[in-house]
Structures are given as structure tokens and as C-alpha cells.
Amino acid sequence: MAFELSSNNTIGPYKQVKVNEVKVTKSMTDFVDKCVIKIPITARVVQKGLVVTESAETARLIEEGMSVNIKLGYNGVLKEEFDGFVARVNPVTPTEIECEGWSYKLRNRTILKTFKKTELLDIMKYLVAGTGIELDTNLIPKFLIDKVVFDNCNGCEALSIIRKISHETVLFFFNGKKLAAVVKPFVFKPSVKYRIGWNVIKDNSLKLRQAKNQNVIIKVLGIKRDGTTEEIISGKHKVVASTKVGSFGETKVIKTQNITDKSALKKIGEAALAKLQYDGYEGKITAYLEPYCEPGYKAILEDLRYPERGGNYLVESTEVTYGANGGRRIVQIGLKV
């Protein structure tokens, strides 16, 4: 069966836009989805099969803030790869259009508010109010924050502040216009199968990652306003036999004044422990547009030559390219799940 590249691209009022190239990048560690579109410097607008304009400069037809939707695939079977807005138009040859996902709408909000003893979901509801962004409540965990101050920052900066005070435990990401949050370590239901040498074009960047320290515990201290401390310990030291006495491992301490809820502190400790004790392969594989995959998916990797590289991995980021050289999806795998 032959596979023919197909696309359906919309920019503002212009549909079925013919492109030279498209590049879409998404990541679990960066909630800003990005897309770069290259189109010819001149174009004609066609309506009902008839040319309704003379040749015009495309850089003058496209304006910042226009909606953008990119669908790619094979043989007319398309999947949405990007949904967002024009952020910048570069009048070069070919014309280059820089786009941003729905985080673009958060940049137009100025936040001046202090939250005390507030659930993450309620903070997110406030941040997205009036933007058209929807919350994926099924993917937003219970996570109580004692105090967070947003002092004249935009919505994107507010999400970054939450990530910082949670010690990178809370991650945000968009699925089109839906905003979700997850707490590491996590496993998603969607899965995709990759077999080296079958539907994987390149795998030479996969590298073995060995745990930095298997014999470590994480102590998380939530320092309350009254001076008392809530303490949570994640992990357990392994006793190493020696000629005389047992040898104990390392203890790492994380302190926070913004979060003191036991459940939230436990999640911070578990996330830090998983990062330190992760053994497995990490890196990137290059595949075709099919099977469809995006950050947060579980990649089921199979390698008949080197079975030890197989397993279930979290997809941390994807980079999709489309153009004269074909369609490719570069998948970065991380934590083994």
C-alpha cells in the first residue's frame, strides 16, 4: 500500500493553505507548544474554485493573533498536530510564520493576586478565566498550595511560578485548547508501539541512563508560618553488608514554605526519588507520522537485536516535521514506566 502525505492547514480565514514546511514541537517540560510554518512569499486566494485576488505578498495577508490549525497524515487520514495562534510573521524567503499554542492567550492576562490554602485546580480556574482555554479536570491532581503570590505577571509566568514552588513536581501541558496538569511520576493511558527497524527510522541517539544514586532517601520539609515543620520521607535506605557494620546511603533534603500539605509533600518527594533512581534508556527515536504520538503517551519500545532496550517509556517531547522531504516524528523518551 502506498502512503501519500496529506495536510489540511488553516491560518485565520485562509483554508487549505499550501505550505513549504511545517515544524511542530511539544514537550511535557514546556507548556508552550510551538509551530513554524514556511509558505511561498506570494499567493493567490481561491474561493469556490475561482481566483479572487491577484498575486499578493503572504506576509501582508497573515496577521498576529490569527488562529492556526495544522492537520497532517497519509492518504487523507489526518490528525491534528497543532492548534494555536500566529505569534510573529517574518517577511523572509519563504515567508516564515511563528505560532504559539493556546498559551498565547495566557500572555494577555495580567495577574495580581495572592492565593492562600488553595487547591491547584482553583488557581488554574482563575488563571484561564476569559481566555477560552478549557481545563482538563480529569488530569489535574489534588495539590494544596499554602501560599503563592502573582505580582503583575502574565498567565504563562504564573504557571512557571507554580512549577518552581513545587520543585518541578507539577507540570503543565496543553492538548489543543485544553490545559492539564500532572504530578511526577505519572503514567498516561494512551500508548503507542515502536519497533526498532520496523516503524522506527533512526534510533542511534538512545543512550543508557543509570541511576545517580540507588541508595538514597528524600526528606521533604514543609515549613509552616508558625515555625513548625511538616516532614515527609520518601524511599528507604538499603543496608550494605560490610565486615563490621551496615553502611547507609545518602539523605537529600528539600525545604518549602509554600507547600506544607502532607499529600503534596509526599508527591514532591516521590518525584525527586524517581528522578534519582531511574534506570533505563533515554534519548530520541525518529519515526513516521503514523503511529500518532504526543507528549504524555506511553511508548512501548521493542528491539529484537537488543532486547534490553525494550520496555515502556514516557514520551517527554515530540517534534513533527512535514515538507518536501516527507513527514517525520522525532520522539524523546524518558522515564521508564
Q: What is the pLDDT of residues 130-182, one digit of tens each?
A: 999 999 998 898 999 999 999 999 999 999 999 999 998 899 999 889 999 98
| Grid cell digits, residue 273 | 526519588
In this prediction, residues 110-118 reach a mean pLDDT of 96
In this prediction, residues 100-117 reach a mean pLDDT of 95
Strand pairing partners for 269?
none
Within 8 A by CB and 6+ apart from 313, the residues are 280, 281, 282, 298, 299, 301, 333, 334, 335, 336, 337
pLDDT for 83 beyond 80: yes
> What percent of the residues of the chain are helix, what percent strand, and what percent coil, each to the nearest 5?
15, 50, 35
The pLDDT score that the predictor gives to residue 48 is 62
pLDDT for 249 beyond 80: no
Task: For residue 290, name the pLDDT band (cuts at 50, 70, 90).
Answer: very high
Q: For residue 124, report the phi and psi dihedrals to the nearest 5 degrees.
A: -65, -35
pLDDT for 264 beyond 80: yes
Average model confidence (pLDDT) across the chain: 88
pLDDT for 280 beyond 90: no
The pLDDT score that the predictor gives to residue 146 is 94
pLDDT for 55 beyond 80: no
Element (DSSP H or E) covering residue 5: strand 5-11
Strand pairing partners for 89?
97
In this prediction, residues 253-260 reach a mean pLDDT of 90
In this prediction, residues 189-200 reach a mean pLDDT of 90
Q: Which of 80-84, 120-124, 233-237, 287-291 has the lowest mean pLDDT?
A: 233-237
In this prediction, residues 279-304 reach a mean pLDDT of 91
Q: pLDDT per residue over 220-238, tens digit each?
A: 888 888 888 888 888 776 6
pLDDT for 39 beyond 90: yes
- CA nearest to 320, candidates 19, 52, 72, 130: 72
Task: For residue 243, name the pLDDT band (cuts at 50, 70, 90).
Answer: very low
Within 8 A by CB and 6+ apart from 307, the residues are none
In this prediction, residues 251-267 reach a mean pLDDT of 89
pLDDT for 214 beyond 50: yes
pLDDT for 240 beyond 70: no
**Domain 106-183: which CATH number of 3.55.50.30, 3.30.60.50, 3.30.310.10, 2.40.30.10:** 3.55.50.30
The pLDDT score that the predictor gives to residue 212 is 59
pLDDT for 10 beyond 90: yes
The pLDDT score that the predictor gives to residue 53 is 62
In this prediction, residues 233-250 reach a mean pLDDT of 63
For the chain, give the percent of residues with pLDDT over 90: 56
The pLDDT score that the predictor gives to residue 37 is 98
pTM: 0.88
Task: For residue 49, name the pLDDT band (cuts at 50, 70, 90).
Answer: low
The pLDDT score that the predictor gives to residue 208 is 79
Strands (E), 210-297: 216-223, 229-234, 250-256, 280-287
Q: 191-210+280-336, what's its fold?
A: Elongation Factor Tu (Ef-tu); domain 3 (2.40.30)
CATH of the domain spanning 5-101? 2.40.10
Q: Rounded to whole angstroms, how far apart are CA atoms 329 and 325?
A: 13
The pLDDT score that the predictor gives to residue 14 is 92
Task: For residue 216, name the pLDDT band (cuts at 50, 70, 90).
Answer: confident
